[in-house]
Amino acid sequence: MDFQILDADYEVINDSSPVIRLFGRGEDGKSVCCFVPDFEPYFYLKASGDLNAVARLIEDTFTQVKKVDIVEKFEPIGYQKTKTKMLRVTTHLPREVPEIRDEILKLQEVMRAEGKWEVYETDILFRNRFLIDRDLGGMVWVSAEGEAVDPAKYIRTSSSGSSRCEKFACDASILASGFHKVENLTLAPLKYLSFDIECLPLDGGMPSPEVSPVVMISFSFEPEYKGHKTLVLLAKPVEGLNSDVYPCKDETEMLNRFFEIFCEYDPDIVVGYNHQDFDIPYITDRVKTLVSEGKSINPVVGRDGSKIGYRKFGLITRTEMKGRVVVDALPLVRRAFSLKQYTLRAVSKELLNREKLDVPPLEMEEYWADTGEKFKKFVDYSRRDAELALELILHLKLLDKYIALAQVSGSLLQEIVDGGQTSMIETLLLREFGLRDRVLLPKPDDGVSAERYEMSSDLKGGEVLEPQKGLLENVLILDYKSLYPTIMMAHNLCYTTVVTGDRPEEVTIKPPSGGEFVPPDVYKGIVPSILEDLLSRRTQTKKRMRKTSNENEYRVLDATQLALKSLLNSFYGYSGYARARLYSLTLANAVTSFGRSNILNTREIINSTIGKIILRNKTALLLDEAGELSPQDRVVELSVAYGDTDSVFVHCKSREDLSLEEISLIGNRLSNIVSASLPDPMELEFESIAKRALLIAKKRYALWLFEPRNSGWEDKIKVKGMETVRRDWCELTSVTLNKVLELVLIEGNVDQAVNYVREVVSKVRNLDPAKDSDIIESLVLTRTLTKKTESYKNKQPHLTVVENLKKRTGVVPSIGTRIPFVIIAGKGLFVDRAEDPDYVRENNIPIDVDYYIKKQILPPVERILEVFGVKISSLDFDSKQKGLFDFEAKKPEVKKQEKPSSEKESKVKAQEQNLCKENGHAAQSSLFDF
């Protein structure tokens, strides 16, 4: 039987031996639980003295220990000439590994042994240990042979005495006699269920599960459930409703129906919007309250019959549903898109172009009590929320990336959806370390992490070149493909190659930052090997993408290559991460120091070694190659105008106008020359051409870019770091600035830009709150609440709003929420005049027009226009609307330019759209774009 692994865990049978359970969905559509016996928990101990004696002592001392073997392993960090003898300790039960790991170290005193004993791989979850050792992983397809079994045999009866197998939800259970991984590019027919609960608020504030009942629960299904796309359960009997509304006698009956339908549908993916932090804990606590009042509810959600529940770790809530994957759309949308707000309403509008229906919290009780239209509205509102959550996941294909990451890294989907890059990297490292006979360290404790965190101040990052500020024409953009991973591969940089003890005979690799690494022929580093594997798989995947005509396959392959890229880029960060199992400042510093010297070298080569390029007969020649110059030759002077970490902007100066083709010749030539000087697989790539580039400051610039697209050129404006792409500025600022950039960069028309700004300013100054509600909308600022309100040292505008909100409704936004606000008219500090936009609208509070003009519109615009000699003396400028601008157009430096000939296909009209699109997507860590 073939199935895709969704989840894995283990169960202990007869208190004596663990059985692994793999949960999955078969290609036939059946949900499967596959039991795998005979996998044993173990860990490693590096001891000193007579190892046989230690082994016997351990076996005698600990009843938990099943056996102790002597093995030869490399230690985790540093180049070693030989392996070390260690003990591999096998226990009967998985939980016994952490139980005895500290005790076992105490035997060192009993043995009076020298040196320091260490334990390794003592904190690997048993299910992960299994997946790693058997070369399986999340969302991987397996083919299992074996007999159908009664799950009851493999399920421990719960403490209450009732057997969970009564509620065992899988269509098929098998006892595996053998299994193997199979290659399959399709996705099992997964079942998605999304749900959303409604409870009546307390005085318009947050409801509490101790007192506020759940009155409605909505489902959305994909595929349908018994012909229903959606279903709404009601906690009261109501007559005459549609068939997809299900009235219940009371809340208890509704909750029971909820769990019954849930298990009957048997979803693989359980979706919601913020359900991880709200709906699931709420239902859990509400059920507890009702049961304590004597109601009978059986809240089963797990495939093994386990009940709904949640755990809090600090600020983070985690829920688990055995055999399924809980996917909260909110954090996924947050990670995938850079938006000003992440309320379901804002997100649906922005990303799905769908409106959320709304019921005002204060009137919910009234809507619920109503029997007519209002009640229907309430039902539809609830239903819509469940629909939207599911649509976000499905329409935006938010899970594709995570599924691919699970397959490529080997971690379970739930871990990847919940967590960061750590679990994926560690899974990859554990597997490869195992294959290379090397043990891995446990996670550091808080003390060690804190120490490391202090040390991390010695980690230097990338080099940012001082930009040649102002407007430049004809700028080539080159960048290093996947800079950091290629540096690690090129120089064999790894935890396992750094010289810490043993010295090789051979010459070592010495990074600019110090330290020494052995060359690959002495010992090929494990991380470079992993990176090479990921890189070659990525190349393969891209090749297959070009071949396939199957749309689904293409989609899977694309997600796979993106996942591979993302993993490639994660290793450097991990090496400097204080809580990593492997932490090496020497390694991390080696990587960045090679990067810095690299970009500085590149600048030197281009500025000095090359200096000038001669264009002759459609070729780009170096000065020596060109020999004697003829009048037809074009001399292009090169200078690096800017660069950040892995990119170089090269200004091409020439007496004549240069065509895009000519600039491309130069770009390709530069890329070839520099790449040839680099060790494999490092490569400097010719990325694009900026016809005009406006460099304002480090990490702040705008480019009018031309990129080759099916035999023509496509142009667009790319803005980095400026206020148009920053979410802590209002929309009016970004719209105005975008327009100014467009006029200046494309049209070369400074006058028009100035006029445009004047119009905007006058519009704001003469704002009529009654009429211009849309303008007020565009004055809303947002800022993230990044910590507990009491931890702030200074006043902050969004804090003011949070305080106000708390006073008015009692609702406190949680950490991570983006708080919208506007600045209202009045005296005193700006922070004190921040106010909730809704409140301002409802109460017709006047806006601080002056603030918006002087602090939001003018400064960013000024930074751009001053490049062209436009001065805006903001002091002169007041409501009289005179002398707004001290406008001295020094030089109409930018002449309205003929469009380059080959650029017929380009659509300047699309500029604004391009800008919007650019802004809509989250900045990916694209250091190393292949």
Partner DNA sequence: TTTATTGCCTAA
Partner DNA sequence: TAAGTTAGGCAATAAA
Nearer to DNA, 361 or 420 (CB): 420
Q: How far is the CB of 164 from DNA (least distance, A)?
A: 18
Nearer to DNA, 9 or 387 (CB): 9
Give the integer Cα–Cα distance in Å for 334 and 47: 47
Helices 526-547 & 422-435 angle (0-180, nearest 10): 110
Site for DNA contains 181 (CB under 7 A): no
Residue 923 per-residue DSSP state: P
Site for DNA contains 785 (CB under 7 A): yes
Token pair listed for 691: 């016809």
Q: How far is the CB of 588 from DNA (least distance, A)?
A: 7
Residue-wise burial string across 461-491, b where 16 or more C-beta atoms lie within 10 A, e elsewhere: ebbebebebebbbbbbbbbbbbbbbbbbbbb
Provide the H-helix boundaries in 266-372. Answer: 279-292, 329-336, 344-347, 364-369
Nearer to DNA, 236 or 335 (CB): 335
The one among 725, 775, 853, 857 contacting DNA by CB under 7 A: 725
Instruction: Give residues 212-241 in contact with DNA (rule: CB under 7 A).
Output: none
Give the integer Cα–Cα distance in Å for 458 and 456: 5
Site for DNA contains 143 (CB under 7 A): no
Return the closest-CA partner of residue 643 out of 676, 684, 675, 613.
Answer: 684
Contact at 8 Å (CB) between 816 and 784? Answer: yes
Return the closest-CA partner of residue 169 out of 359, 301, 5.
Answer: 301
Q: Which residues pair with 246 in a beta bridge?
A: 233
Stretch 413-452: interaction string toward DNA, x if CB under 7 A: -----xxxxxx-------------------x-----x---
**Cα 324 from chain centroid (whole Å):** 22
Instruction: Give residues 74-93 in contact with DNA (rule: CB under 7 A).
Output: none
Nearer to DNA, 384 or 718 (CB): 718
Instruction: Give residues 475-494 in contact with DNA (rule: CB under 7 A).
Output: 479
Q: How far is the CB of 406 from DNA (least distance, A)?
A: 15
Site for DNA contains 927 (CB under 7 A): yes
Helix (H, G, I), strand (E, B) or coil at 232: strand
Instruction: Give residues 862-921 in contact with DNA (rule: CB under 7 A).
Output: 863
Nearer to DNA, 360 or 419 (CB): 419
Count, residues near DNA per rule CB under 7 A: 74
Nearer to DNA, 466 or 637 (CB): 466
Tokens 């909110």 found at: 330
Helix count (H) and strand count (E) of the chain?
29, 31
The one among 123, 363, 370, 400 contacting DNA by CB under 7 A: 123
Instruction: Give residues 541-560 in contact with DNA (rule: CB under 7 A).
Output: none
Beta strands in 357-469 (DSSP E): 464-465
The residues near 716 (Cβ < 8 Å, ≥ 6 apart) are 704, 705, 707, 910, 911, 914, 918
Binding segment for DNA (CB under 7 A), chosen from 15-23, 376-384, 453-461, 499-507, is 453-461
Task: Give kind and range of the element (H or E) at residue 719.
Answer: strand 712-720
Nearer to DNA, 547 or 699 (CB): 699
Nearer to DNA, 200 or 831 (CB): 831
Return the closest-CA partner of residue 477 out of 713, 745, 689.
Answer: 689
Site for DNA contains 460 (CB under 7 A): yes
Nearer to DNA, 312 or 503 (CB): 312
SS3 content of the chain, % helix, strand, coil (to 5): 40, 25, 35
Contact at 8 Å (CB) between 599 and 640? Answer: no
Binding segment for DNA (CB under 7 A), chosen from 178-186, 199-207, 412-420, 890-898, is 412-420
Token pair listed for 446: 């808080």
Instruction: Give residues 671-700 in contact with DNA (rule: CB under 7 A).
Output: 696-700
The one among 278, 577, 704, 706 contacting DNA by CB under 7 A: 577
The one among 66, 436, 726, 841 contacting DNA by CB under 7 A: 726
- Region for 920 from its dihedrals, namely left if φ exceeds 0, alpha if ψ lies in -120 to 50, beta otherwise: alpha
Query: HSE (CB half, 13 Å, CA atoms) of 869?
Result: 8
Long-range contact list for 504-510, CB < 8 A, 24+ apart? 504/79, 504/81
Q: How far is the CB of 120 from DNA (least distance, A)?
A: 14
Site for DNA contains 810 (CB under 7 A): no
Nearer to DNA, 94 or 267 (CB): 94
Q: How far is the CB of 438 from DNA (least distance, A)?
A: 21
Token pair listed for 847: 């806006």
Give the integer Cα–Cα distance in Å for 334 and 350: 13
Q: How far is the CB of 863 from DNA (least distance, A)?
A: 6
Task: Give kind and range of the element (H or E) at residue 380.
Answer: helix 373-395
Instruction: Give residues 815-854 in contact with DNA (rule: CB under 7 A).
Output: 818, 829-832
Name the residue type at position 50. Answer: D
Contact at 8 Å (CB) between 214 and 200? Answer: no
Token pair listed for 888: 């001295």
Q: How far is the CB of 378 from DNA (least distance, A)?
A: 33
Q: How far is the CB of 826 from DNA (least distance, A)?
A: 12
Q: How far is the CB of 94 from DNA (least distance, A)?
A: 12
Site for DNA contains 787 (CB under 7 A): yes
Q: How far is the CB of 98 from DNA (least distance, A)?
A: 8
Nearer to DNA, 498 or 785 (CB): 785
Q: Which residues pair with 205 in a beta bridge?
A: 202
Return the closest-CA partner of residue 422 out of 437, 411, 438.
Answer: 411
Stretch 614-653: interaction string toward DNA, x if CB under 7 A: ------------------------------xxxx------
Binding segment for DNA (CB under 7 A), chosen from 569-577, 651-659, 704-712, 891-899, is 569-577
Site for DNA contains 539 (CB under 7 A): no
Site for DNA contains 570 (CB under 7 A): yes
Instruction: Give residues 298-317 in contact with DNA (rule: CB under 7 A).
Output: 313-316
Site for DNA contains 343 (CB under 7 A): no
Nearer to DNA, 499 or 578 (CB): 578
Binding segment for DNA (CB under 7 A), chosen from 40-48, 172-180, 757-765, 788-796, is 788-796
Nearer to DNA, 220 or 598 (CB): 598
Task: Give kind and range of the element (H or E) at residue 902.
Answer: none
Q: How far is the CB of 427 from DNA (least distance, A)?
A: 13
Q: What is the distance in angstroms between the CA of the first residue and the CA of the last residue of the chain? A: 38
The one among 383, 515, 783, 861 contacting DNA by CB under 7 A: 783
Contact at 8 Å (CB) between 703 and 479? Answer: no
Q: What is the DSSP string of 480-542?
A: ETTHHHHHHHHTT--TTTB-SS---SSPPB--TTS--B--TTT---HHHHHHHHHHHHHHHHH
Binding segment for DNA (CB under 7 A), chosen from 620-628, 713-721, 874-882, 887-895, is 713-721
Token pair listed for 267: 């979803």
Q: How far is the CB of 702 from DNA (least distance, A)?
A: 10
Site for DNA contains 456 (CB under 7 A): yes
Stretch 317-336: interaction string toward DNA, x if CB under 7 A: -x------------------
Site for DNA contains 511 (CB under 7 A): no
Q: How far is the CB of 671 from DNA (least distance, A)?
A: 16
Q: Are strands 214-225 and 228-234 parallel, antiparallel or unpaired?
A: antiparallel
Binding segment for DNA (CB under 7 A), chosen from 230-238, 503-511, 704-712, 724-732, is 724-732
Site for DNA contains 514 (CB under 7 A): no
Return the closest-CA partner of residue 223 out of 178, 269, 183.
Answer: 269
Contact at 8 Å (CB) between 468 and 695? Answer: yes
Q: How far is the CB of 511 from DNA (least distance, A)?
A: 16
